[in-house]
């Protein structure tokens, strides 16, 4: 990988690290801010710990990003974010299918409008980190081409 890509990689890791730390703290606080929610649930503390750890791991990969042992830290942190975000998406899918009605005669499945509404905001913090974390695929590809 050339110097520019390495610099870009370091910047990516630094920004993602700070963002993940910030969102991890938000998960601990557990409130709703506009389209972002970190309100309670069974696993709130787990999510917060994972985001904080992902943030620290991203930041530890900032220096010498060209080295495979450094890039892989950013890859691991990204996978951690993907797991949390994927579970948030899976929770939305699971909530969007049944109608929730309990009486006989009422529909079993959610209506089209309710189905779509389940995917609307507010979203959990990891969802906002999901898309930028995918940038790591660019670095993986560049590394593969370079080697």
Which residue, 34 or 106, is less far from other proteins as judged by CB? 106
What's the helix, strand, coil split of the chain in %, to 5?
65, 5, 30
Q: Kindly state the tokens that stand for 76.
A: 């691991």
Supply the minimum distance, in Å, between the C-beta of residue 37 and other proteins.
Answer: 16
User: Binding mask 81-120 vs other proteins (x if CB under 8 A, - otherwise)?
Assistant: --xx-xx--xx--x--xx-xxxxx---x------------
Of the residues 25, 36, 49, 135, which one makes contact with other proteins according to CB under 8 A = 49
CB 26 within 8 A of CB 36: yes
Q: What angle do CA 33, 20, 96 make, to 5 degrees?
A: 55
Instruction: Kindly tell me which residue out of 13, 16, 47, 65 binds other proteins, with binding defined by CB under 8 A.
Output: 47
Give the Cα-Cα-Cα angle 16, 21, 27 (nearest 5 degrees).
125
Say how many C-beta atoms besides its own lie within 10 A of residue 11's C-beta.
12
Contacts with other proteins, residue ranges (CB under 8 A) = 42-43, 46-47, 49-50, 53-54, 56-57, 68-69, 71-73, 75-76, 79-80, 83-84, 86-87, 90-91, 94, 97-98, 100-104, 108, 140, 143-144, 147
């Amino acid at each position: 990988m050339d110097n520019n890509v390495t610099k870009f990689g370091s910047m990516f890791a630094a920004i993602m690290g700070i963002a993940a730390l910030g969102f991890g703290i938000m998960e601990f606080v557990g409130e709703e801010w506009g389209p972002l929610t970190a309100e309670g649930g069974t696993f709130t503390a787990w999510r917060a710990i994972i985001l904080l750890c992902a943030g620290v791991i991203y930041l530890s990969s900032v220096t010498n990003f060209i080295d495979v042992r450094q890039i892989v830290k950013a890859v691991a942190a990204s996978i951690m974010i993907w797991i949390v975000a994927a579970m948030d998406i899976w929770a939305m899918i699971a909530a969007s299918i049944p109608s929730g009605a309990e009486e006989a005669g009422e529909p079993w499945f959610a209506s089209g409008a309710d189905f779509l509404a389940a995917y609307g905001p507010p979203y959990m913090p990891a969802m906002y980190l999901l898309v930028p974390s995918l940038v790591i695929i660019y670095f993986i590809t560049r590394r593969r081409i370079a080697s």
